[in-house]
Structure formats: structure tokens, C-alpha cells
Structure 1
Amino acid sequence: MANKKIFTFKIGENWKVVVLAVLAATTFWFFNSLNKNYEARLSYPIAFDFPRDSVVIVKPLPDEVRIDVASGGWNLLRKTFWFNVDPLIIQLDNPTEIKFLTRNSLYDIIKDQLTDIDLNRVVTDTLFISVEPKIQKMVMAVVDSLTIPLATNYRLTSAITYEPDSVLIEGPSSLMNRFPSTWLLEFDRSDIAGDFERSLAVPLTDNRLMSSTPKSVTVKFRAEEFIRDSLLVEIQPVNFPNRYRGKVPFLADTTTYVFYTIKGDLASQVSDSAFSIAADFKMYNSEDSTITPVVLFRPSEVLELQLLPEKLKVGHANQ
């Protein structure tokens, strides 16, 4: 059997020489390539120049434009990787009137500022611009008393006051033109009872685009508990004749229940003697032999008065 010879290549101590040779060749190729001209497509940064105090940027402005350029390798490398590139400046004299910039209008703007590379064409078709005039509007801050989240059986017992009673709203014209002259404040808590004093934020349609001065309104009012109570009260007969159609009329119902609403802390101060209820025979209904009672006097503190029964029966006795 013939002997086979095995050839091996050992770098051994010469590996450093090999690495340095490869590195030197790569470096030479790299720098040689940078001296040639190339065409490339770049995403180039842009910036818009216009006074911003009196306008609102509704949507973020474009921050780059795609362009095809031609230049030496060194310039292209500098424009892409190694250094911070100054953005192309797009001047807007009337930013609120311009809604977009086309490829054709961008070409001259970009070409004038690219002095060290050649602009072949603008790839980006259109840059859309959404800038609106900034408008201020004084808005009255109000609370709808019917929407106040009061605790069960509690009612408002004072006027609602505001500090301040109006705020200055600022924002883009499209939002401000739809903004109402009065704005309802919303409560951030429920089951309100007793004295209420709290700063409520002014709700804005878009917190990013709009602002208010101040940002909140202090609302004050008082809520007290009311209860439903009742008393049994005697009826005073009035103008009853001695005889009516040959008989003696009389009240069959001599008492009535008085139901009412009153502040909880005043309930104990009201008694049946505080009410005066009469049955006037002049209001006698002969069809059903009843009289509707009339409240002659009641305490000023009571609300939502109701009498049961609502009609009093009248009897007729033989003399």
C-alpha cells in the first residue's frame, strides 16, 4: 500500500503578519474606493423655519426627505455615517396657508443647499404640513347642578361659586372654533356630602394642542342631608252649615297624614302643631261627597308636601 503524504499549513508564529497583511489590503481597498464617484439614495434631515409664537403645529412636521445624489465616496460617507449632518432648512413665510410641498418645489430648495454633492432627484413625493393659527378664547366655567354626584339623600343648599369664573383657552383654530363659550366641569369624586371645595381641571379637547390659564377652577358649594318624614295632623272644618239638603254634614275623615321633606338636622323641630290644614265646605264635591283639604300654614323649612288621603270624606247625619 502506497504511503500517502499529508500536507499541512501551519501559521504558527506568522499569524500576526497574515492579519496585518489582510488589514492593510482592506484599508487600501477602502480608501481607494472612497476616491471614486457614486450614486446613492439618502434620507436627509430637514427642518422648517417659521415664527412659532402665533401658530400651532397640529401634526408633527416631516423630519427627513429621500433624495438621490451623486458624489465622491468621502462626501457620501460624511453625509451618512461619520458626522452629524446639518439639516436642510425649509423656509415657510406663511405656514398656516401652506398645506403641502411637492417634489418639484422641494428640488430647488434642496439643490441650493447641497453644495458638495449633486442632487439627481427628489424621491419623496409630497411633504404634508399641518400648521394652524393660534387662537385665544375666554370660556366660562360652569357646573351642571343636576350632574353633581351627591351622596344619597343629599341636596345642594347653597349657590355654586367659582374661582375664577372663567379661563383663557388657547389652541389651533380648527379646535377653538368648535369650542363652546361655556364649559362644563367634571367631578373626579362621588358621594359628595357637606361642604365641598375642590379644584377641578378644565377639560380640553386635545391636551397636546390646547392649554388653559389657569389649568383648574376652584368650585365651592354646600350639600346637606334631607329626610322624608310624616305626621298625623287634625283637620279644621271650615264653613260647614248646620244643615245641607235636610241633613247635618260632618267630616268623616278628621285627620290626614302630612308627608314632607326636610333637612335632617331640623326634623326634630317640627311637630303636628306646626301645620294648619282645613276642610272648607265651599269646596264640597257632591258627586263623591268629598272635600280636598287645604294647607293654611306650614313651616317654611318643609318641602314637597303631600297629604294622604288627598280627599276627605264628608258624612251626613239626620238631625
Structure 2
Amino acid sequence: MSKKQVFNGATKRKVKVFVVLLFCSFLAWLISKLSDTHTDETTFDLVYTNIPDSLFFLGASKDQLTITARGSGWQFLGSRFATKKLPIDLNGMAHRGNKFFLAEQAFRKQIETKLPEAMTILRMDQDTLFFNFTRMIRKKVPVVVEATISLEQNYLMDGELQITPDSVLLRGPSEEIDTITSVHSEPVSLIDISSDFKRTLTLVKSGELINTVYERNTVIVSAEVFRFSEKIFQVAVEVANLPEGTQIRTFPNTVEVLCKARIERLKEILPSDFRIIADLEDIKDESPYLPLYLIEQPEGLPSVQMRQSQVEFILKRE
């Protein structure tokens, strides 16, 4: 090994020793400084928690809080890297009428419990915290299904379209839902239906309902669909409000009633289960026609239709 190589190796070792000694000196100085007591300002973002369910939070008189505190450098160093969000519990806030507030003494105690134990608050804002709330209300409104349903020929729905649930509970600020009378589903189009169906539909939320929550976001629509049979019944026409000493004849004196239902149901029905009247008080401008009204019919029939809506008549004095 040459003299030059020996010299270079010795120089490198000296540099390394110097750097290590310098780092140790800096570390000793830093530890000493961090162990000293310091006074400093720290600003926190206030986060409000435990808001009562009956109220909706609109804002507060303060979103940030600056405090002057005394503590060791280690404590301040920890607070520099810790979160700057400071939770404030509103469970103990007071109110007078519609004004809600938290006194300085109350939220100061909360802050002290969240700082390191040996850190002391020297100064902080002395203001009372005021809060702006609006009342939260609950309201149950019906669901309106936006559905277009087209059945195949010779098919009918057995009863009405079923909506489950048929209403939904809303929870939100009274300003938003006071005027809400119903909620609507997404539109659905069911074409050429020939069998029972069930669909899950999403409820549409208006863009104005920013702070309103729906109890549920979907409903189920369903119906039973069957192939129907037809039967025509000849039903006698009754005349109402016929003056005494007067006779009347209608042409015709019976009217066809077309019923659509399951064949088993049609077999149970008789013409006497229907009642059709023509009311003489409904004559207009000496018209020769009397309007007809179907006032009684069997329950549960999907479709009932009179084949004509009026009859001619002749009055005779006895």
C-alpha cells in the first residue's frame, strides 16, 4: 500500500469521526432545548360532536381557536405533528329559547383534557361559543310510482299495483320537508307483461333536499297477472224518480254488461248481482235519452263495462 493510499484512508476516518461527533453534539443540544419550557401559540380547527338528533347544525360563531400554552419542547413538538382538529362536545351546551351556546368555562375544560398533561393554557379566546341550529322533523309521505305498464292481449292485473312500502319516513330540517307531500320512484316501463312481476325501484331525491335523509331508498312494486275470460250479462234497467201516475218504457229494457275475470270467478256471478238505474231527474233539454249508471256490481272484478251508456224512453200517463 502506497503512502498516498494510507493518507487518504486516514483522512476519511477523521471526516467520519467529525461527522459523528457533530451529530451527537447537535442531538445533545436538541434534547436540551426540547427539555426546556416554552411558550407558544397553537391554532386548532374546531369539530363539533354529539349534536342532538332533534337539531341540524348550520354553523358556529367560531371554526378555529388559537391558544397560548406553556409546556416542554417535547410537548410542542408532539402537538406540531398531531392532528389540528379539536373535538368540542355539544352534549352540555345551554340554550335560551332558540339560542344555543357553550360558555368559555365549559369548552376550556374540554380543551384542557385533550392537551398533554404537563401543558398549561396561558391564554385563549374568552368568547362564548354560539351555535346556529334548525329543528329536525320526521314526516311520513306516500310513495308515487312512475310506472308505465302494458299487458299482453287477454291479460289483466289482479287488483291494484302493490307498492311495498307505500310510504316512506323523511328526516330533515323543517325548512326542507315542510312542503313535501310525496316522494317519487324512478320511472319504469313494463311492456307486454303476461305473468306476475316484482321490481325494486329507487326513490328519486330532489336536489333541494340537501340535508334530508330517507328512511329507505327503494320500494318494491309487484302485481299478479292472469289470462282473463269474458262473459256478458243481461241486466235489467231500473228507473229512478218516476212521478206517480206515470209509466215508462225504456228501449232496450236490459243492458249488456261485459265482465273480464278469471273463468272460475265468472261462473259464480249472476245478472242479479248488478244494478243499473236510469234517473229521470237527469233528463236534459227534453232529450229522448236517459243516461245509465251502474251502481252495484260484484266485488273483486278486474274489469266491468256497460255496453251502452244511455237508453231511449217513453212516458205514459196512467
TM-score (normalizing by structure 1): 0.48
Q: Which has the higher strand share?
A: 2
Q: Which has the larger radius of gyration?
A: 1
